Amino acid sequence: MRLRYRCHRIWFSLMIVLLITGSVQASRMRVGVFAFAGAGGYYERQSAANFLTKVLVDLGRFDVIERERLELIMREQKFQRSYPVDQTTAVEAGRLAGIATAFVGQIDSLTAKRERDSDGSGYYHATANVSIRIIDVSTGQLLKVLTLSGTGIEDRRDDAHIAALQACFDAYFIGELKELFALETRISRVAGDDVYLALGQDAGVKRGQHFLVLRAEDDDDPTFDFDREFMEEIALIRVTEVSRATARARVLWASRTPRVGDYLVEEGRPKLFHTGVSWQRTGVRLSGSPYYPPVEDVSNTWILRLGYELPFRHGTGLELMFCSPVSGVDVSGLGVYGSWEIPLVPKRLTVNMQGTLGIALATQEYWGYPGTPWTIPSRGSATGGQIYLKGDAGLRCYLGWREGLRLELNATFLTGAPVREWTVRSGEGFDAQRYDVTEYVDYPKVDFGGVSLRVGAAFVF
């Protein structure tokens, strides 16, 4: 009995070694691109097939057989009567060609409209709609249908058609392919924050790619088959160096320490779209004038942010700032922000630091200006602008680590040069001019900023 137990232990150990050090990296998938059908002429359909082929080759994870070979098989087997290629024909021809996956494309529509510039010259604005059927040749199953669209502008109609078709095979299409044919492997070695993969350039791994680290719920059982539904996502890594057969990655965040044997699955879209709103208080100081005394007040400020983030790491985007009026003076702003996070509690809490550089725009009424009908009226609304800087530091709570709601509590510092010059715009187009009305506003100098708390929420998807 004890001998049998030891034999089982040895057998399990050998299996783990084989899984980790053995041929985890499967040979690259053989795929084929069939000739496109649908709208457009022969040149447009050939170009669309070439664009698709180039994307598959550039990804580096497919062996793309020559399209001429597929067409030869189609002719020899008299499949040409089946154009456009249907699913059954693609499967039969694909098996004869020895491919695993077939890509069957069709140009659903291809139009171009003549447009004219203001100077009288013309150009063509083309729109293309393409559908790609991805078929598993071994099972005959339709894996996915991708519907793509693109636009192109060129001087000639044919060139505009080609530009629109090329635009169909953009980053969205590449992301869909990465998600459908995600790379999978195991961790072969761990050294501190460095993780080594049993995949390299030959499998299509490139610097900058991200992989999720997964661990089975029953991680003590080495015979557990890969099933993502029963895996826990414990870390995110980013590839830093790649050789032909292996790669090294750096841990970006981890709820549990990665270890040898953990599964790795490529994360095709690590960056998520971020939209958030927050509230803070902003001090506003208005200088006096002969008719109005100085004013110091606090404005309720709302901040809207739109951008992208890498969870637990960093984010970038645009910031819109809206301050409530103080004595008739409105302040708003548009800026670019960047954020950096340091994990405190895995998958839950981080230290969040943010910085924003923007342009603030203030408005207030002017009156008494000795204007003339061909310049500006004697009263109206004047504007002034300055650059502002904003810094935040605080805590960020994740209610969903990848997608979902985030809550933020930060101390924020806002500063900028005072607005000292007030102007009003008169005229249209290139003939428009700005006139200085600083002497005719109620508050010639407007200063805003200070330190306060910022409370916000964001939704990421």
- Domains of the chain by start residue, with CATH: 29-180 (3.40.50.10610), 183-267 (2.40.10.410), 272-460 (2.40.160.20)
Pick the closest to residue 105 from 134, 139, 136, 69 (CA basis): 134
pLDDT at 11 over 70: no
Strand spans (E) along 367-445: 380-398, 404-416, 423-426, 433-436
Intra-chain end-to-end CA distance of the chain, in Å: 55
Give dist(CA 46, CA 110) in Å, integer.
Answer: 14
Return the higher-pLDDT residue of 3 and 256: 256
- What are φ and ψ of residue 15, in 5° steps? -65, -40
pLDDT at 338 over 90: yes
The angle at the Cα of 418, spanning 378 to 363, to the nearest 5 degrees, equals 35
Amino acid type, 308: Y
Q: Scanning the structure block, which residue is given the tokens 């350039």?
A: 201
Residues 258 and 187: beta-carbon distance below 8 Å: yes
For residue 56, the model assigns a pLDDT of: 94
Pick the closest to residue 305 from 335, 332, 281, 280 (CA basis): 335
Percent of the chain exceeding pLDDT 90 equals 57
pLDDT in tens, 355-408: 999 999 999 999 888 876 567 788 889 999 999 999 999 999 999 877 889 999
pLDDT at 13 over 60: no
In the chain, how many H helices and how many E strands?
Answer: 6, 22
Question: Across residues 85-90, what is the average pLDDT?
Answer: 85
The reported pTM is 0.68
